[in-house]
């Protein structure tokens, strides 16, 4: 991936944090190995890779110019070599609910692809609603099917917020026993091969929705840690401004507006 080496070799790395590198193919892995060998560091600049495929051939062809089966065959030696090198491997299944090219996805295919990634040695597989068309009902149906072959504790939820249902889908995933949720500060992200798709669910929105629930967020003020929602909002707004956009986090907008109003009132 263009620019990966510059980013991960210059960023600050904190102990106990895994900095995953997205690896699309053998060339990407070879480049990472070269970087690791030429840039010794403690902690290492990366100890994890992310490999990805899709649940439909149409999306896989658009994204990686291959069928799903071809992509799995290409990823298997990548995962094996990474594991042999001592790296963690996480898998992603794109368009796990709906595909922008072929419509509703066969959830049995999602199960098969997820199982294939697990068999490669992935410690976790993230199920991606890449288009953001998922609803609590379809997400529930999809997870129920996938867990016939993959233990729920090995699954993660990845929901884009195109139709405003991402937070509801997060709670659906949690109700099924999934305990890892992918989120992006400020709602960053998107997919160039999914027309109209917005970014991943905003971290701020997930944190706000969970704060009065019976779920505990690891490392947050709502669990036993110190993560601060207000600080997260500030980060989301800052990075959005750096990118020339506005934060799309609903909670972020509300909290920032409240703080601005309080600041004005105090002057």
β-pairing verdict for 103-104 and 155-159: unpaired
The candidate with the shortest Cα–Cα distance to 18, out of 112, 118, 86, is 86
What residues have CB less than 8 Å from 53, skipping those under 6 apart? 60, 64, 68, 71, 72, 75, 91, 92, 93, 94, 113, 117
Catalytic residue among 55, 78, 99, 191: 191
The candidate with the shortest Cα–Cα distance to 25, out of 54, 64, 59, 69, is 64
DSSP alpha helices (H): ranges in 176-228? 203-210
- The string of DSSP letters for 15-67 reads TT---EEE--SHHHHHHHHHHHHHS--SS-S-SEEEEEEESSHHHHHHHHSS-
99 is annotated as an active-site residue: no
Q: Per the omega criterion (within 30 degrees of 0), is the bond before 29 cis?
A: no
Chain-centroid distance of CA 204 in Å reads: 15
Give the Cα separation of 7 and 22 in Å (integer): 12
Handedness of CA 77, 124, 219, 259 (dihedral sign): positive
Question: For the chain, first and last CA: distance in Å?
Answer: 48
Point out the residues that are catalytic.
Answer: 191
């Amino acid at each position: 991936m263009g620019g990966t080496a510059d980013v991960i070799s210059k960023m600050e790395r904190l102990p106990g944090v895994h900095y995953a590198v997205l690896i699309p193919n053998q060339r990407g892995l070879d480049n990472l190995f070269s970087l690791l060998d030429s840039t010794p560091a403690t902690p290492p600049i990366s100890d994890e890779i992310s490999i990805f495929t899709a649940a439909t051939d149409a999306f896989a062809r658009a994204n990686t110019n291959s069928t799903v089966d071809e992509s799995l065959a290409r990823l298997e030696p990548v995962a094996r070599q990474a594991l042999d090198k001592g790296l963690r491997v996480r898998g992603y299944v794109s368009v796990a609910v709906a595909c922008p090219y072929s419509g509703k996805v066969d959830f049995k295919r999602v199960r098969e692809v997820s199982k294939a990634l697990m068999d490669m040695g992935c410690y976790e597989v993230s199920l991606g609603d890449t288009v953001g068309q998922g609803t609590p009902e379809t997400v529930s149906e999809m997870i129920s099917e996938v867990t016939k072959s993959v233990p729920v504790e090995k699954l993660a939820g990845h929901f884009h917020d195109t139709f405003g249902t991402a937070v509801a889908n997060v709670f659906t995933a949690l109700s099924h026993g999934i305990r890892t949720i992918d989120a992006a500060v400020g709602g960053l992200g998107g997919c160039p091969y999914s027309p109209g798709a917005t970014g991943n669910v905003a971290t701020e929105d997930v944190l706000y929705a969970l704060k009065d629930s019976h779920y505990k967020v690891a490392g947050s003020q709502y669990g036993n840690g110190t993560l601060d929602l207000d600080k997260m909002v500030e980060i989301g707004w800052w990075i959005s401004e750096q990118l020339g956009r506005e934060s799309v986090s609903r909670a972020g907008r509300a909290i920032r507006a409240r703080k601005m109003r309080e600041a004005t009132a105090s002057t």
